[in-house]
């Protein structure tokens, strides 16, 4: 979860919803307001790396099977079969035909695609809505509790390099997380 996703108040506002609601009153350029809106609508996701073509990284989202092409400004190219926990921002104003990773990729290790797919399907059952697409969106954007994804990154940290962060384990399997005993939940 980023600061854009942290909800507050009775209407569950976020920094992004406030900026889009007040953008014109704040004198923001309409293009900037649109960029904020698109970022607000984006969320983290769990993707399988499908290879690189023409300098673009192919990712396929677990559960939905949605395929996207992206660039990674952090410079990490990865390799086919890796699982990434990353936020993708869609092309702005159709200027390009690829997404951009908005976070340094979190490369998920020591758990398989099947493990992660099972976790996501299991975790979606606890989300309020009946629509699976909305359940997945809410789970990955807000978590099933306020700091779920921040805690997963903290507890799952395995190691890092200049262009990627490596996480181990599955969020609801405490024994799989290297730093689970240090968790705050």
Are residues 64 and 144 part of one domain?
yes
Residues 25, 66 within the same domain: no
Q: In sequence order, what are the residues at sequence separation of 6 or more whose Cβ sits closer than 8 angstroms to the Cβ of residue 83?
A: 46, 47, 48, 49, 62, 107, 108, 111, 113, 116
Do 67 and 17 fall within a single domain? no
Residues β-bridged to residue 59:
49, 68
pLDDT in tens, 49-60: 999 999 999 999
Q: Summarize pLDDT for 121-167 with one digit per residue, the tens.
A: 999 998 877 788 889 999 998 888 888 999 999 999 999 999 999 99
Question: Both 36 and 52 in a single domain?
Answer: no
Within this chain, do residues 76 and 15 fall inside the same structural domain, yes or no?
Answer: no
Is-above-0.85 flag for pTM? yes
Residues 22 and 57 placed together within one structural domain of the fold = no
Say which CATH number the domain at 90 has: 2.40.50.140
When divided into structural domains, the chain yields a total of 2
Q: Which residue range forms the structural domain that includes residue 4? A: 1-41
Q: Are residues 95 and 123 in the same domain?
A: yes
Half-sphere exposure of 133 (CA within 13 A, CB side): 2
| Dist CA 80 CA 64 (whole Å) | 18
The Cβ of residue 157 has, within 10 Å, a number of other Cβ atoms equal to 18
Q: Is 105 helix (H, G, I), strand (E, B) or coil?
A: coil
CA-based nearest residue to 120, from 99, 104, 137: 137
Indicate if 37 and 54 belong to the same structural domain.
no
């Amino acid at each position: 979860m980023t600061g854009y996703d942290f909800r507050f108040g009775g209407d569950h506002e976020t920094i992004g919803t406030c900026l889009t609601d007040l953008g014109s009153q704040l004198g923001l350029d309409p293009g900037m307001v649109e960029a904020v809106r698109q970022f607000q609508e984006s969320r983290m996701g769990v993707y399988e790396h499908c290879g690189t073509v023409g300098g673009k990284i192919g990712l396929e989202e677990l559960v939905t099977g949605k395929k996207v092409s992206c660039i990674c400004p952090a410079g990490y190219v990865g390799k086919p079969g890796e699982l990434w926990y990353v936020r993708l921002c869609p092309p702005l104003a159709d200027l390009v035909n690829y997404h951009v990773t908005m976070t340094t990729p979190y490369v998920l290790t020591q758990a398989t695609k099947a493990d992660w797919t099972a976790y996501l399907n299991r975790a979606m059952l606890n989300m309020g809505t009946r629509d699976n697409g909305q359940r997945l969106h809410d789970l990955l954007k807000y978590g099933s509790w306020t700091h779920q994804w921040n805690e997963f990154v903290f507890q799952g940290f395995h190691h890092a390099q200049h262009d990627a962060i490596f996480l181990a384990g599955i969020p609801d399997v405490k024994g799989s997380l290297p730093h689970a005993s240090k968790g705050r939940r």
